[in-house]
Structures are given as structure tokens and as C-alpha cells.
Amino acid sequence: MKKIMIYIIIFAIILNGAIVFATPATNDIENHWSQRFVEWAINEAYLMERDEEGDFRPNENITRGDFITALNNLLYYRKLFDDIDIAEFTYDVPYKDVSVDDVVFYSVIDLYNYINFHTNTGIVFEDVFQGETLNVAKYITRKEAMLLARAVTTPPIFTKEIEFSDLDENSIHADKIYELINNGIINGYGDNTLRLYRNLTRAETAVILKRVYEDMHYLVHDYLSFKQISKSLLTNMIVSSYVEDDLITSLSRQRFINAAITLDYIKFVGHIPFQERHLYDMDAIGTLWDLRKEEFEDVIGINYYLIAHSENMEADRKIQLIRESLQHLSLTLPADVQGLFRFLEIAEKHIPKDEIISFIESFYFSSEASETKFKAGIYMTEYYFENGSIENALFIYDELLGFDNNIDRTIKLIRNFAVLKNEHLGKEETVNILKAIWNSKKETEMYELHKKDIDGIFTGLLKQLLLQTDESLVTPDF
């Protein structure tokens, strides 16, 4: 009986312990104004910790060492150290009270190196903590935390006319604090003060970390590189140019579609099961040659499948069919070419790309706005960019931006347009142009539907442009 009681007691202790571990007490942040920020910092980003009792103590002050550690953890969480050569680091910091035995030693070293040697904000670590000692156990002030936060974030895009009674605009790094405010990372108090020398609380730390994390998005994602759009437009749809749908062509078109589907099926699956063969054209190549003899108008579609699937066709014959198709595109101006990039992909394997471009240009400048013209324009601009013809690419982009209404493609177009403008005109003029386009987009129905996406691309582009210039290109937000 005694053994049974012992086992019951042990089981109760283990069970009780498990409950404590599984649901740590967090009563001190429930319904606290910072709750969602604290929960993010603890449970998602793992930047801060609870105490042994499971409490966060949101209203208590945070030490310099703990704030430095949390901010340094955020740099790792955002993977901002990944591209930094460890050989560029120095362990020689100008503080007598910092030693390798300190718990926060490596956090101090990392953050010191990142701010002093890998950012261009004009803030250095010694500006924040002056003197011969760092005093990591001392509570950090709001001003010190603000400067550290600004040292690892991006510049604001717009400035607002704001003043605070306790911040002298002429004091050192006052402009950096205003930049942090304009970035939405900190706010003042209702009495028009910043209370710069008040100690920072743990709750305020969690809020700052979350907002810095969001701003760091523009440091880790690439906005200023030209991206190929044609690859995203490459589909598995059958290759076919539009044919007028009268009775005769309808029958011919159905024969063509059945042959094309058959050949695509064989290409992707390898064979057609015996029990399904009645659904397909088992002499698809023969059908396509017959359609050519009958002068069926879908020249591009027929030729594509003959080139792609006629095993014994000689190279010269393939080149002949490709040129015939390109000439048909540039002279006949079909209303639509489905699978255009599939055709162009196979064409590039047999004839020079500059020859293809001459036909594509002829089609583009002769046709009305359409999906096929859009794709032709994309193909041309990518060729121009590859060959350094930035002005030609920009000429086409001015039109492409006007008639595409697909949000995903619009975002890609805006990015590439900004890259081209930056290479052609430089950063300052590109910033002004992008701001003007952004304002014009705000008047459109697309903006009402996709505000977050549109604001995101312009914000990313402008911030990365500002990061790459020595001069301030920030303009007032009227």
C-alpha cells in the first residue's frame, strides 16, 4: 500500500510539474497594452524571456545589456549577419568593463561591429554609449534605445513636420531620432515630449523590436534587381494563334486542338494508355501536316508542334518553320497567341535571338493593346536589358505600365521599371519619379483593392534607393 501511495505522489508531482512547464504564467501581460508585441518577442522571435516564475514584468526597466542582447538576437533572427565576413570583426571595443567572461560579451561585440562597420546611418556605437565603461547592468534610456534602433534600420521615405519640446533640433543625432519617428518605430507622448532620458521599459522594448523587425524587411529582401517576367508567363497551355470561329475553321481548329493536346500529353506522361487512345489523335503529326496543306490559319500553333515533336525533321526545316511563324506573327498580327513564350523558347534553340527580336518588334509596334502585345513587350525589354539598351527598355515599359491590370504583374513591372530608371537617370531622379507614380496609383481602383501590395513595392524600392546614396533624398510629405 505504501508503494502505491508513493507512486501516486510521484505521478502527481510529475504531472503538476508538466502543467507548470506547458502553461507558464503570463498573467502580468494579459490585457496589457503591449501584449501582442510581448507575445511576439517571446514566443515567435525568441528575443526576450520570462523570469523563473513565468512573468515578463512589462513595466520594469530594461538594462543596457539586455536591450543590446535582444537587438542583437533580432539581427540574427533576420539573418543580417549571414553575408558578413567574420574576418571583418574586431574584438577591440573601447570599454574597460567589457570582458569575455560577461554573459552579454558576444552580443556587445556583434552589435558594435554591425553598427560601426556594416551600416551607413552616421551613428556609431560610441555615440550611443560614451565614456570608458559600458555599464551593461545600468538601465538603458529611451534615447540610447532610439539611436541603436535607428542604427540598424532604413531611412524614412517621407518626413512630417513634427517638433518635440524636449528635443533640440540642433543637438547631435536629433535628425536620426526624427528619422526613427518618421519611420513609425517610436512615437512621442501626448504632451508633445519624447522623454529621452527616461528609462526604457521591457514592454516598450518589445514594441520597438517588433517595429524594427518589420522595417528590416527592406534590408533582407531584394528590390533593386531586374527580374525576368517572361518565366512567370511561361505556361503549359497549348501553343495556338487565334483563328476566326466559322464553321470550316471550327472543325479544323478542333482537329488541331486534339492533335496538340495529344502531343503535349505524350510529352509530359510518356505514352497514352491503350484504353484511352480513342480520346486522342494517334496520328497527331500526320494531322498537323494535313492542316498545313489545307492552309489552316493557325500557322504558329501547327509549326510549333511539328518542330517540337517531329523526330526526323532536319534542322534547316525547323529554322524555316520558325521564320515562317515569326513572319506570320509580324505581318498577320493575330489577335491572340496562346503559349507565346513556349514558342519563343523553342525558337531560341534554332535561330539567333536578335533575329527573333526583329519580328517581335514588328508585331509589337503594329498591333493594338492585347495580352499578346504585353507578352511581346516583356520579351523585348528583357532582351534590351540583357544587351544594355536601357532607353529602349524604358520606352516599352512606359506603355506596359499603362495597360496591364494584373496586380502580380504590375508589381513586377514597377520593380523592373525602377531598376531601369535608376540605371538610366540615377537615384535622385528615380526617387522623384517613383513618388509621382505612387501618387498616381493611389487614384486607381487597383490601389483600393491592393493597397498593401502597391505600398509595399514602392516602399521597398524607395528605401533601398535611399540606402544606396550618400545624400538625403527624403522629401516632405505634404
Q: Which residues pair with 407 in a beta bridge?
A: none
Cell numbers found for residue 44:
515567435
Q: What is the CA radius of gyration of the chain?
A: 32
**Which pLDDT score is estimated for 12?**
45
Q: Is pLDDT at 137 greater than 50 in this prediction? A: yes
Place of cell 521599459: 201
**Which pLDDT score is estimated for 120?**
85
Summarised one tens digit per residue, pLDDT across range 228-270 is 999 888 888 899 987 665 555 688 999 999 999 999 999 888 8
Strand locations in 320-415 (E) = 337-338
Cell numbers found for residue 229:
517576367
- Residue with the larger pLDDT of the pair 270 and 319: 319
Q: Is 192 left (phi over 0), alpha (psi -120 to 50) or beta?
A: left
Asked whether the beta carbons of 302 and 291 are under 8 A apart, the reply is yes
Report CA-CA distances (Å) from 370 to 16, 290, 301, 365: 69, 31, 18, 12
Report CA-CA distances (Å) from 305 to 25, 312, 342: 68, 13, 11
- Could you give the 3-state DSSP secondary structure of residue 245? coil
Output DSSP code: residue 43. Answer: I
Q: What is the mean pLDDT of the chain?
A: 89
Of 41-45, 133-137, 157-161, least confident by mean pLDDT is 157-161
Q: What is the rounded average pLDDT of the residues 13-28?
A: 48
Rounded distance between C-alpha atoms, residue 212 and residue 146, angstroms: 11
Output DSSP code: residue 325. Answer: H
| CATH number at 230-476 | 1.25.40
Rounded distance between C-alpha atoms, residue 351 and residue 347, angstroms: 6
Backbone angles phi, psi at 320, to 5 degrees: -60, -45
- Residue with the larger pLDDT of the pair 449 and 26: 449
> N- to C-terminal Cα distance for the chain?
83
Summarised one tens digit per residue, pLDDT across range 181-227 is 999 999 889 899 999 999 999 999 999 999 999 999 999 999 999 99
Of 76-80, 89-93, 191-195, 358-362, least confident by mean pLDDT is 89-93
CA atoms in the 13 A half-sphere facing the CB of 428: 4
Question: How many residues would you count in the chain?
Answer: 478
Rounded distance between C-alpha atoms, residue 320 and residue 313, angstroms: 11
Of 240-244, 392-396, 403-407, least confident by mean pLDDT is 240-244
Backbone angles phi, psi at 166, to 5 degrees: -110, 20
Rounded distance between C-alpha atoms, residue 109 and residue 100, angstroms: 10
Domain spans, the chain: 29-220, 230-476
Spell out the residues 6+ positions from residue 429 whose beta carbon is closer than 8 angstroms to its own: 421
CA angle 181, 187, 193 (to 5 degrees): 105
Strands 337-338 and 240-241: antiparallel
Strands 475-476 and 337-338: unpaired
pLDDT-derived band at 468, boundaries 50, 70, 90: confident
DSSP-assigned states of every residue in 419-448: HHHHHHH-HHHHHHHHHHHHHHHTTSHHHH
Hey, how many other C-beta atoms are within 10 angstroms of the C-beta on 227? 13
- Could you give the 3-state DSSP secondary structure of residue 384? helix
Asked whether the beta carbons of 377 and 344 are under 8 A apart, the reply is no
